[in-house]
């Protein structure tokens, strides 16, 4: 095969064969194809798109470019969950022990964050002593014994995806639905999931800004799952304000503990129950989402999910005493309140700006490899539609770098809009995409 022929074919809008895509991806992974040719192909895909069959073939080519995790030693249906990213999205910290407590094995390979806050691994490493890198057999053994294990994602998992993403980032081809969908799904498939639940965020704090784009992405990923034999369901959730009240690694661990203790933010709990109920249905532990929701609610109420979280932390050498005393989590040296400049209703909370403020405080990374401050972040004190008085706290900011407080305060003041009249609060759950297509929750 010749790369130029494949580039030409896609440039002309023709459908590529599975073998052509597999050859192209493997050649690029093996450094046998130069960046300039792959960049030309990516741009052709950006403008011409890909069919469902092409996108599925691209997904499997990337998944097959490296190691495949074999979870067959672990009994039960392994259901993975993935979020397209948001602000105060603490769902994995809650869902992993919650779903495991319900009898569905949770095996997650997660990465470190690049952006607003750290990734799941960064958040877990805020727990004193927590071991986030497990050897393969240790990972399997924990799954077999406890039904839950989380480890850092190996560079050997879908290496083609990492290499392609770096090229997409500098060639203006990131915003391509087939490329986004195949990137996400290739890592989930290579990580050994039997079935997959996706949380596709929509709004100003999400990668997908409009519902139409989010539906298109969700449908693309669900179709990939169908074509490669991995049943997939996607939930569309609103990200026009932070999901939880905590933005920052240590702060989000604390919020997860509060939710599993029966307290916590209603919006975060709602999304966790929505995603978790779908995971239980796919995992065979519930007949319907309603049944799954009841089971998960009971596991929170009777504190079995919290106990599973403690068991999980101990199994990975962390200090589970944080469940009783969150003061054992890393604490910031500087704390400052952001207050309302006037009275009125909260009519806008720009999640993206708030996430940026958290990153500037030290909670996230602006470049790969940057050290983050796990104690830094923002604790929100308001939500959309809430009435506030002049001088009332809107947020509390945390950092170990005092010089960052003023800029974060300014960003938050701009991100939170206060007006005399209340606003319409957008629905949290927008819809669901499964093998039968999009189901609009707003109709």
Which of these is catalytic: 10, 78, 82, 308?
82
Angle at 401 between CA 399 and CA 405, to 5 degrees: 65
Task: Quickly count: other Cβ atoms within 10 Å of residue 404's Cβ.
Answer: 18
228-254 burial code (b ≥16 CB/10 A, e <16): bebbbbbbbbbbbbbbbbbbbbbbbbb
Cβ(347)–Cβ(418) below 8 Å? yes
Which of 60, 67, 95 minimizes the C-alpha distance to 81? 95
| Mode of pairing for the β-strands spanning 429-434 and 232-238 | antiparallel
161 labelled catalytic? yes
Close Cβ partners of 334 (under 8 Å, ≥ 6 residues apart): 398, 399, 400, 401, 402, 405
Return the CA Rg of the chain: 22
5-17 burial code (b ≥16 CB/10 A, e <16): ebbebbeeeeebe
- Whole-angstrom distance, CA of residue 64 vs CA of residue 256: 35
319-338 burial code (b ≥16 CB/10 A, e <16): ebebbeebeebbebebebeb
187 labelled catalytic? yes
Could you tell me how many residues make up the chain?
443
Which of these is catalytic: 89, 161, 199, 373?
161
168 labelled catalytic? yes
Task: Quickly count: other Cβ atoms within 10 Å of residue 197's Cβ.
Answer: 28
| Mode of pairing for the β-strands spanning 106-110 and 148-152 | parallel
Which of these is catalytic: 163, 187, 201, 293?
187
Which of these is catalytic: 176, 183, 191, 277?
183
- Report the chain's terminal Cα–Cα distance, integer Å: 50
User: Known catalytic residues?
Assistant: 82, 161, 168, 183, 187
């Amino acid at each position: 095969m010749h790369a130029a022929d494949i580039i030409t074919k896609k440039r002309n809008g023709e459908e590529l064969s599975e073998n052509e895509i597999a050859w192209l991806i493997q050649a690029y992974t093996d450094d046998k194809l130069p960046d300039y040719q792959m960049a030309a192909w990516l741009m052709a895909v950006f403008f011409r798109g890909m069919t469902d069959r092409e996108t599925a073939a691209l997904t499997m080519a990337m998944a097959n470019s490296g190691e495949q995790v074999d979870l067959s030693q672990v009994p039960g249906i392994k259901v993975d969950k993935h979020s397209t990213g948001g602000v105060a999205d603490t769902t994995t910290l809650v869902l992993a022990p919650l779903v495991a407590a319900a009898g569905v094995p949770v095996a997650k390979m997660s990465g470190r964050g690049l952006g607003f806050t750290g990734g799941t691994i960064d958040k877990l490493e805020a727990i004193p002593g927590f071991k986030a890198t497990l050897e393969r057999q240790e990972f399997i053994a924990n799954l077999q014994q406890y039904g839950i294990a989380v480890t850092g994602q190996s560079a050997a998992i879908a290496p083609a995806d990492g290499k392609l993403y770096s090229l997409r980032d500098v060639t203006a081809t990131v915003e391509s639905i087939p490329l986004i969908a195949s990137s996400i799904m290739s890592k989930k498939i290579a990580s050994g999931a039997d079935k997959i639940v996706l949380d596709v965020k929509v709004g100003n704090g999400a990668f997908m800004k409009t519902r139409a784009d989010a539906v298109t992405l969700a449908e693309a990923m669900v179709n990939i799952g169908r074509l490669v034999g991995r049943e997939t369901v996607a939930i569309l959730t609103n990200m026009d304000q932070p999901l939880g009240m905590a933005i920052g690694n240590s702060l989000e661990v604390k919020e997860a503990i509060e939710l599993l203790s029966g307290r916590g933010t209603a919006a975060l709990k709602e999304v966790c129950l929505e995603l978790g109920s779908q995971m239980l249905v796919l995992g065979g532990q519930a007949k319907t989402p309603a049944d799954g929701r009841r089971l998960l609610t009971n596991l929170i109420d009777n504190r079995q999910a919290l106990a599973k979280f403690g068991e999980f932390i101990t199994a990975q050498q962390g200090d589970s005493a944080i469940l009783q005393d969150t003061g054992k989590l890393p604490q910031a040296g500087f704390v400052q309140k952001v207050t309302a400049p006037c009275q009125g209703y909260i009519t806008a909370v720009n999640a993206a700006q708030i996430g940026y403020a958290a990153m500037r405080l030290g909670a996230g990374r602006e470049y790969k490899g940057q050290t983050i401050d796990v104690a830094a972040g923002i604790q929100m004190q308001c939500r959309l539609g809430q009435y506030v008085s002049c001088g009332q706290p809107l947020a509390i900011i945390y950092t170990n770098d005092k010089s960052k407080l003023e800029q974060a305060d300014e960003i938050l003041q701009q991100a939170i809009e206060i007006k005399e009249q209340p606003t319409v609060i957008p629905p949290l759950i927008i819809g669901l995409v499964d093998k039968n297509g999009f189901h609009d929750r707003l109709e």
